[in-house]
Amino acid sequence: MEEAQRHEMKLVGTASAMHFLVDGVCICCLYLLLSPFELPELVGVVLTYNVMAFLTQPLTGIVADRARQPHLLLLASNALLAAAVLLAVVTVMTSRLHTSSICLYGVAILLGMGNSLFHVWGGRQVAVRTVNDIRLLGVFVSTGAVGLAVGFVFYSWLLLCVQLLTLSVVSIAYVCRDGALARAALRTEKGLSIGLPLVCLLMIVLMAAVMMRSMVSEEFSSGLVNGNAMVLVVGLVAMLGKVAGGWIARWIGVAKSLALILVAVLVCWLFRGIGMGVLLPGLFIINCSMPITLYLANVVLKGREGLAFGLLAAALIPGYLMTQL
């Protein structure tokens, strides 16, 4: 048992570090590429990236659930991200391509697909290998928020190269060391005995909850972000909320945790006009719900954890778009 737990912790630590690096590479590359362009071009490319990164995750999740060699998804993700960075470098260095929309959107598509493959790979690996441990789910999903913040604030070609190189080294080392264990672990019993209609209904409820969380979280964070220091604070608070949510749910139970989160978020929403003293706690609390919804989705779609992760990720986009529009 102790040996199995060590393997679990190594997996979660490695996947969480890669999550930080993947999100950092994506945001860093986008900002380096798009900084010279005007708003209309920015909006189109960023929207393309978000569609490819999030709305494709249900499809890549199905692939992850069926994959006999899941480590190939991780390597494919790395290859797509590397191709995106290479195309971004060529686009910036070559004046003719620098004004080409095709190249801008090509980078966005490659980044989005690499991001999508990594997230469903990591989400499924952690869920299955830890037997859906809600605490460790929270740890895995948390680090991306800080990766985004660091990439946004410190974006540079040096940081991008360091992140991509580190990600490649860590990924290859993981595959060489842990690939056999990963292949052996990813066969689980499928489905609940509650019937397909109820499964669909429960997933719709969970996706609606994620969509609302995305909208509320965006409202809280947009009221806070007014400088690079605050961007880092927001990323850190979001990360801590996701980690804490899993431990709180394990301590007092999922139902009580959801009830407390709902009440606390409602209070913070009603008094959000007060400012940082309410917005920061609100952002922390709303992020506490992330590992809980993921845990419940894995219970409902047992044996299809890749699809469960992908469906919840896709539900983030409608909430985000509603706040932007």
Q: Does the pLDDT value for residue 87 go beyond 60? A: yes
Domain ranges of the chain: 2-324
Residues in Cβ contact with 314 at an 8 Å cutoff, skipping those fewer than 6 apart: 54, 55, 57, 58, 207
Confidence of residue 99 (pLDDT cuts 50, 70, 90): low
Mean pLDDT check: name the lowest of 48-57, 83-92, 185-194, 246-255. 185-194
- pLDDT above 70 (res 244): yes
> What pLDDT was estimated at residue 40?
66
- Beta-carbon contacts of 125 under 8 Å, excluding residues fewer than 6 positions away, are 11, 15, 70, 182, 186
Q: Per-residue pLDDT averaged across 142-157, rounded? A: 94
From 57, 24, 36, 161, select the one nearest 104 (Cα to Cα): 36
Return d(Cα 113, Cα 123) in angstroms, integer: 15
> Cβ contacts of residue 237 below 8 Å, gap of 6+?
280, 283, 284, 287
Q: Give the per-residue pLDDT at 190.
A: 56
pTM across the whole model: 0.92
Chain centroid to Cα 302, Å, comes to 20
> Which residues contact residue 174 at a Cβ distance below 8 angstroms, ignoring those fewer than 6 apart?
14, 18, 71, 74
- Is 14 a residue whose pLDDT tops 90? yes
Residue with tokens 């009830």: 259
Q: How confident is the model at residue 95 (pLDDT cuts 50, 70, 90)?
A: low
Give the model's pLDDT for residue 6: 76
> Which is more confident, 97 or 42?
42
Predicted confidence (pLDDT) per residue in 178-201, tens digit: 765 555 455 555 555 567 889 999
Q: For domain 2-324, is the CATH number 1.10.1740.10? A: no
The 10s digit of each residue's pLDDT in 39-78 is: 666 788 889 999 999 999 999 999 999 988 888 999 999 9
User: In the prediction, which pLDDT does 263 show?
Assistant: 96
The residue whose two tokens read 């680090």 is: 143
